[in-house]
Amino acid sequence: MRSSIIKRTSRWLGASALALMVGIGGVSTAYVITGQAANAQVQNAAQIIVPDAAAPHAGFADLVAAVKPAVVSILVEAEESAQRVQRGPNGQFDFNFPDLPDGHPFKDFFNQFGQGGGGGQAPAPRHYMAAGSGFVISGDGYVVTNNHVVEDATKVTVVFDDGTEKVATIVGTDKRTDLAVLKIDGTDLPFVSFEDEPSRIGDWVVAVGNPFGLGGTVTVGVISGSGRNIGGSNYGDFLQIDAAVNTGNSGGPAFNTKGQVVGVNTAIYSPNGGNVGIAFAIPASTVKTIVQQLIDSGSVTRGYLGVSIQDVTRDIADGVGLTAAKGAIVREPVADGPAEKAGIKSGDIITAVDGDQIDDALDLSRTIAGKKPDSTVELTIWRDGAETKLSVKLQVLNEAAADAADQNQDKPVPPAPLPSKSSVGLTLVPNGDGNGGLLIQDVDPESPAAQKGFAVGDAILEVNNTPVATLDEFEAAIDAVKAKGLNTALIKASRDGEARFVGLPLSK
Q: Is 250 tagged catalytic? A: yes
d(CA 271, CA 484): 50
Phi-psi region of 92 (alpha: psi -120 to 50; beta: other; left: phi over 0): beta
Helices (H), 391-464: 399-405, 448-451
d(CA 117, CA 122): 14
For 45, residues 6+ apart whose C-beta sits below 8 A from its C-beta are: none
Catalytic residue among 233, 250, 346, 365: 250
d(CA 391, CA 435): 31
Catalytic residue among 178, 318, 348, 360: 178
Q: Residues 15-54: pLDDT tens digits?
A: 333 333 232 233 333 333 334 444 444 445 676 665 655 5
CB 9 within 8 A of CB 267: yes
Catalytic residue among 4, 10, 148, 363: 148
Q: Which amino acid is at 292?
A: Q
d(CA 227, CA 360): 12
- What pLDDT, on the 0 to 100 scale, is given for residue 410? 35
d(CA 353, CA 48): 36
Q: Is 57 tagged catalytic? A: no
d(CA 254, CA 265): 7
Q: Is 403 tagged catalytic? A: no
**CA dihedral sign, ordered 27, 31, 36, 41:** positive
Q: What is the CA radius of gyration of the chain?
A: 28
Estimate to the nearest angstrom the gap between the alpha carbon of 376 and the chain centroid: 25
- What pLDDT, on the 0 to 100 scale, is given for residue 63? 92
d(CA 101, CA 400): 41
d(CA 461, CA 493): 6
Q: How far is CA 109 from CA 91, 105, 204, in A?
A: 20, 8, 62
- What pLDDT, on the 0 to 100 scale, is given for residue 25? 31
| Residue 50 DSSP class | P
- Please provide the DSSP assignment of 316-343 as one string: HHHHHT-SS--SEEEEEEPTTSHHHHHT
For 72-82, b where at least 16 C-beta lie within 10 A, e where not — what string?
bbbbbebeeee
Please report which helix (H) or strand (E) contains residue 377, including its range. strand 376-383
For 71, residues 6+ apart whose C-beta sits below 8 A from its C-beta are: 133, 134, 135, 161, 192, 208, 209, 216, 252, 253
For 318, residues 6+ apart whose C-beta sits below 8 A from its C-beta are: 486, 487, 488, 503, 505
d(CA 308, CA 328): 10
451: Cα within 13 Å, side-chain hemisphere: 11
Q: Which residues of the chain have pLDDT under 50?
A: 1-5, 11-43, 55, 81-98, 107, 109-110, 112-120, 402-403, 405-417
The torsion angles phi and psi of 157, rounded to 5 degrees, stand at -120, 130
In this structure, the number of other CB atoms found within 10 A of the CB of residue 172 comes to: 20
d(CA 178, CA 264): 10
For 400, residues 6+ apart whose C-beta sits below 8 A from its C-beta are: none
Q: How far is CA 341 from CA 337, 377, 398, 469, in A?
A: 6, 13, 18, 27
CB 137 within 8 A of CB 127: no
Please report which helix (H) or strand (E) contains residue 441, including its range. strand 438-443
Q: Residues 186-244: pLDDT tens digits?
A: 999 999 999 989 999 999 999 999 888 888 899 999 999 988 877 655 566 899 999 99
Q: Domains along the chain? A: 61-77+128-297 (2.40.10.120), 83-123 (no CATH), 303-405 (2.30.42.10), 420-505 (2.30.42.10)
- What pLDDT, on the 0 to 100 scale, is given for residue 401? 55
Q: How far is CA 20 from CA 155, 228, 452, in A?
A: 27, 16, 27
Assign 3-class secondary structure to 246-315. CCCCCCCEEECCCCCEEEEEEEEEECCCCCCCCEEEEEHHHHHHHHHHHHHHCCCCCEECCEEEEECCHH
- What pLDDT, on the 0 to 100 scale, is given for residue 144? 96
Q: Which amino acid is at 267?
A: A
CB 459 within 8 A of CB 439: yes
CB 345 within 8 A of CB 332: no
CB 470 within 8 A of CB 445: no
In this structure, the number of other CB atoms found within 10 A of the CB of residue 504 comes to: 27
Cross-strand partners of 86: 94
d(CA 506, CA 42): 41
